[in-house]
């Protein structure tokens, strides 16, 4: 797999989740680029077309069958976004992780201030190599500090859908 295939994989997952939400009568829109040059994977609109919130989607490689018990080695939680990212100026309402191999989805509700509730991994300077990106590009990339959602903050696919329906 190369970098373009990796990006296509992510786009396919976002599209699949968006279509699943639309089948449940949720007005899930196309991804957008914000004025901060970050992407909003799935904006959610009300019936008259006003954006209510957005959902961040993360693809997961490997074979995850239990996201509460299974995490990549050395992780303290599921990575959900870089600490320095401009997306935290306008955080998503939800994060959805999707395992490509098992078709399992899980998520978390984003707190108003992630830093007060979620942990930061890895250390401040990103000394852990991002193996997947490094392999795909042939150039060394590091994992920079990211908010990580601890297992006790993980919710099921059903809880995600119920939360969205309450907000629309």
Give residue 125's pLDDT.
62
Cα(122)–Cα(148) distance, rounded to whole angstroms?
9
Task: Give me the pLDDT at residue 146, please.
Answer: 84
Judged by phi (left if over 0) then psi (alpha if -120 to 50, else beta), residue 15 lies in alpha
Residue 43's pLDDT is 96
Q: What is the dihedral of CA 36, 41, 46, 52, to 10 degrees?
A: -40
**Whole-prediction pTM:** 0.85
Q: Given this model, what pLDDT does residue 123 score?
A: 62
pLDDT number for residue 167: 92
* Averaged pLDDT, groups of 10, the chain, 168 residues long: 79 95 96 82 94 94 91 84 74 92 96 85 72 87 85 95 94
Q: How many CB atoms lie within 10 A of CB 33?
A: 9
């Amino acid at each position: 797999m190369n970098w373009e295939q990796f990006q296509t994989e992510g786009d396919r997952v976002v599209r699949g989740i968006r279509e699943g939400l639309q089948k449940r009568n949720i007005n899930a829109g196309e991804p957008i680029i914000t004025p901060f040059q970050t992407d909003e994977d799935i904006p959610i609109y009300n019936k008259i077309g006003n954006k209510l919130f957005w959902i961040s989607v993360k693809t997961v490689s490997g074979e995850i069958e239990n996201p509460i018990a299974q995490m990549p080695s050395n992780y303290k939680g599921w990575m959900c976004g870089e600490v320095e990212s401009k997306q935290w100026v306008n955080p998503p309402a939800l994060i959805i992780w999707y395992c490509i191999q098992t078709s399992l989805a899980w998520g978390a509700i984003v707190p108003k201030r992630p830093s007060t509730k979620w942990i930061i991994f890895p250390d401040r300077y990103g000394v852990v190599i991002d193996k997947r990106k490094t392999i795909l590009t042939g150039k060394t990339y590091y994992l920079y500090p990211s908010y990580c959602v601890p297992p006790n903050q993980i919710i099921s696919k059903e809880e995600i859908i119920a939360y969205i329906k309450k907000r629309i």
